[in-house]
Structure 1
Amino acid sequence: MASSTHINKQNVKSLLEALEQGDETRAEALLDELTQVRESELFQQVSSLTHNLHQTLEGLGDAEILLQTKHDIPDATERLEYVMTATEEASNKTLESSERALAALSQLEMLMSPLVAEEDKALLSECTATLNSELTNIMLAQSFQDLTGQVLNRVILVISSLEQSLIALIHESGHDYDAIPERAQTDEQKKADQMKGVGPNVTDKSKEDLAETQEDVDDLLAGLGL
């Protein structure tokens, strides 16, 4: 019986016919053939995965990948956590300010109502109602923080999982993760990064760099007698 590299409908149909006819010998032979085909497909898939894994492990010899895993990915995670925290704090401050403004507006309307002329009370009510509505809309708009916070949190979890997987691969490939050096940059590269901009100094590493830079400036000024 001719072998095939994949399972087709005719193979399955022939097996069903043999079973219906009670031809156990033929059915067993067909089943063995289908099993062999399936095992062959599985072998090819496992071989492909093994090959890809081997290439990945070899690729980890690239210093840039090692540096990205140890420095860039944690840096990106820390910046995302900063964004999530900053948006939450800003949202909470906006809500608190809006609540205080609503309370002040209500009190102001009560104080002003007896003082304005009768023909102006309608205008006062209209203005306070508009302000009340706008402040309420501002408070409702802060719901964006819950959504963005959830999205950012999921992204951080995915990146952290990827980071742990890469660290495991680095160890499997025989590299010492702790021995991966800091990024070495020339003055031109540092200047180019500064021109591109990386945002505020929100990570521990960037704060350390800022402190070191400030110390250099202080030393220079002290040397000039300033």
Structure 2
Amino acid sequence: MKYYKTLLLSIFVFFSSNSFSTERSWFDEPIKINKTYVTDTEAVIIESLKQRGWEVKEKSPTMVTAWLNDYKGYELVLEIKHDKSQISFNQLSYKKVGCDSNSSSRCKASTKYSDKWRLYLRKNIAMNIHKRAMDYLLNDEKIRSTWLDELKTGDVEFKTKLARNLIDIEYFNEYALAEIVEQINANYLRNELSSDEVQQYAFFCKVLARSEQKKYTELLTQVSQKAKSRKLKNYVKGYLIEMAKS
């Protein structure tokens, strides 16, 4: 139990750190995986490619060739290898569309774009792996109960950080959402929320909005209209606008 709880908490530590810097050495590093909760590595890679607008150029049992085709006038091709322990990346080509070489200044392809696109893809793959880890761990009733107890009893700083991390990794677990709904309902009409509490409930509402589940629209609308804190109401009005556009 202690091992799984530590792993669960480490997921959030990872995503609240500065891990997503744009240093080249970082996005070239392999992603370590655990076959306990990543049972189909290729599926994770292909899911992530689709989310970032990449195509599968070709694939084999241990490799996917990823193609970002004519994106903002560039073409980027990566070789993504995977085995039981890791996913690794190798850039095969990067060029401006319509150019056969980088010999002219017009055809020179700036690496600041390819670095960013590779970084975002790697981040998506890492996020999808961590979501699977969360699903696996929270499927255990005891671990899930411990995690939800921390969400119920933690202080304002802890709850705010947890909500922000759920947003960062786009992880909208039904048990966590149910607890967040309960806490919003119990507190948004309070007369004197501290500034820190306003931030906490704003992030709680943002979690519901980012989940893009229409069943939360009514509650968010109530908060935007009836909350005693004008700042909280304004935050949630903005989230509702974002939901309507999605």
Question: Which has a greater percent of helix?
Answer: 1
TM-score, normalising length: structure 1: 0.29
- Which of these two proteins has the greater Rg computed from alpha carbons? 1
Q: Which has the higher strand share?
A: 2
